[in-house]
Amino acid sequence: MDYLDNTKPVSLYIHIPFCTTKCGYCAFYSLEEKAVREGEKERFLNVLMRQLDALVEDLKRPFHTIFIGGGNPGIIGYDNLYRILKLASRYGKAKECTTEINPETLNENIAPLFEYLTRISVGIQSMKDESLITLGRNAKKETNIKALNLLSKFKNEYGISFNADIMTNIPGENIQDALNDIDEVASFNPDHISLYSLTFEEGTRLIESCVPMDEEEQRKMLISCWDKLESLGYHQYEISNFARKGKECLHNKVYWALGQYIGLGPTAESSVGYRTIISSREPDSLSDYLVNPSFESVKLKGYEAEEEYLLTTLRTGTGIDKKEYFSRFCEDFDEKYGTFIQKLDKNLYEDTDQRFCLTREGFLLLDNVILSLAMAI
């Protein structure tokens, strides 16, 4: 790809755009199985494999990380996921290789994938049946428990890491419900827990059927959940992500550091380059992707790349490394942003000679902080 920096790592994201039924809150592109025409899955796999083969041969080196997401990747079958991972690993295995999987799709037949997989991310969302119904999930609590037991077994027998997604601020949920979810999921000893605050996206079923919780309630619930996760030994290394020491998701850290990654599949995005950033996106529908699986690319202007850098790095616990910022943008961070930082509430950030990062209070007001700093760009 043009502008790919061959001195730096490259990661791979593959979007599998199929699911059994679409969750009420989901704004990602996916198609319910009933909406997929006969033969479309096979055509998708053929197009994807051709794209991937060309990419692998172009790079001729291992990907830094691989992440298969969706949708629900399990829908295409473990045999096809194995084919994808085998091809992606032709020139060597990735340092981290992850697939998302829904609890109702997880079973023992995934074991052959452990030749390449190092990590599984499972969407638990809630351990309360009423909340799962509100969210429009296919799984019940019983299904979640079965999946978590299986993941614990895989961890013990094969050394596979696993991540559990939990959603909070669900209508009808109280703080104790959210804390109980965390306790129950943590009892299965996942290496990583992602805690997401439910958002009401335009065009989703949820926005038509439920009313969001009051903002102050949401804030209290988030703080309580963050405290609980920290008390259980899960360090908050990004706003929504908590991990045991050394078990952070390397693939997502690529996104947050504005590293290089290539996305394949409908709506998948790519970002390559270092000082010059090229952002690309695959076609926005399966039908368009099958006809013309080509990237629409744009070269980010300097200020656009810098805005993106602020948006991603300030989500993390480590924040902005000032030396790395200078290397990337050829400007002194303190000289550019110092005046604007001084106008912020001192409780929102930590500022040293080496880095600038947000505190927990800063995380809660992230959008406001970024708007303030963006004035300097």
Angle at 208 between CA 205 and CA 213, to 5 degrees: 105
Calculate the average pLDDT of the chain.
93
> What is the model's pLDDT at position 201?
64
> What is the model's pLDDT at position 125?
96
> What is the model's pLDDT at position 158?
96
Query: Is 26 a domain residue?
Result: yes
Query: Is 372 a domain residue?
Result: no
> What is the model's pLDDT at position 202?
64
Instruction: Give the number of domains in the chain.
Output: 1
> What is the model's pLDDT at position 294?
81
Query: Is 326 a domain residue?
Result: no
Tokens for 230, please give them. 């920290």
CATH assignment of the domain containing 80: 3.80.30.20
What are the residue ranges in the chain where pLDDT is below 70?
Answer: 1-2, 24, 27, 200-209, 211
CA atoms of 295 and 18, how far apart (whole Å): 21
Q: What is the identity of the amino acid at 191?
A: D
Task: Compute CA distances 64 → 128, 138, 202, 259, whole Å.
Answer: 37, 33, 34, 11
> What is the model's pLDDT at position 187?
98
Helix orientation angle between 175-186 and 215-231, rounded to the nearest 10 degrees: 30
Query: Is 301 a domain residue?
Result: no
The answer to whether 290 and 44 are in contact (CB under 8 A) is yes
* Domain of residue 243, residue span: 10-253
pLDDT, one tens digit per residue, over 142-166 is: 999 999 999 999 999 999 999 999 9
Query: Is 358 a domain residue?
Result: no
CA atoms of 14 and 282, how far apart (whole Å): 11
pLDDT, one tens digit per residue, over 247-301 is: 999 999 999 999 999 999 999 999 999 999 999 999 989 999 999 888 778 999 9
> What is the model's pLDDT at position 24?
65
Query: Is 3 a domain residue?
Result: no
Query: Is 281 a domain residue?
Result: no
Query: Is 226 a domain residue?
Result: yes
